[in-house]
Amino acid sequence: MERRLEGKVALVTGASRGIGYAVAERLVAEGARVCVTARKPEPLAEAAAALGGPEVALGVAGKADDPEHQAEAVQRTISTFGSLDILVNNTGINPTFGPLLETETAAIRKVFEVNVFAAIAWVRHAHDAWLGKHGGAVVNMSSIAGLGSAPGLGAYAASKAALIHITGQLAVELAPNVRVNAVAPAVVKTQFATALYAGREDEVAAGYPLGRLGSPADVAGAVAFLASDDAGWITGQTLVIDGGITLVGKL
């Protein structure tokens, strides 16, 4: 694999498993060193070890929407590896399912706290500590749910739509030194998305023109591209990674 991220340092939130871990794994494979975050210390420590241990991976546990955790993770990344060139805002939650008007306001607020406000805060910390002066790239994890109405997923979809808009907004505000892009996956086979395909994977996959659900590696490759110099003239864009499902009018 081409080591196009040689010498770069990345921070990937929500990376003890699933898409976040796959992204961190791909970045390391392309030459980067990474700081990974997650709420639970034990799985996070296991992930950091699997990524290659202290020489290439640092784990900092905490809640994604905790300002103290955000500041600590950014500072420890820089003090450990010497820079912070890439930020991947991967953390996302979806604790509710059902009609938006039947969803408790507190639950909607929590979704936005983690999926939107925390993402902005991570960019702010990274920008103030390193990116603003030295440049770099941000990749936000949106979803095809953010491209239109998503029955049962109203709060989550609205938060991901907001993140798509924020991606473009920050791309303009932080140019030319910092590029900001997003990816919008469809259903990817992870623990987070299990409820969307469990027990009926073949049926769900049949609706995709490419005939299968996504894998974390599918998303990781796209993130690595957007973080690399190969995407050096791309900013403010949301790359849809969906096996073709949106081409047939489905989200």
Instruction: Name the residues annotated as catalytic.
Output: 156
E-strand spans in the chain?
A: 9-12, 33-38, 57-61, 86-89, 136-141, 178-185, 238-241
Q: List beta partners, residue 173.
A: none
- Cβ-contact 136, 232 below 8 angstroms: no
First CA to last CA across the chain, in angstroms?
32
Surface-to-core class of residue 246, CB atoms within 10 Å of its CB (0-12 exposed, 13-18 middle, 19+ buried): middle
- CA dist., res. 251 & res. 246, Å (int): 6
φ, ψ at 24 (rounded to 5°): -60, -40
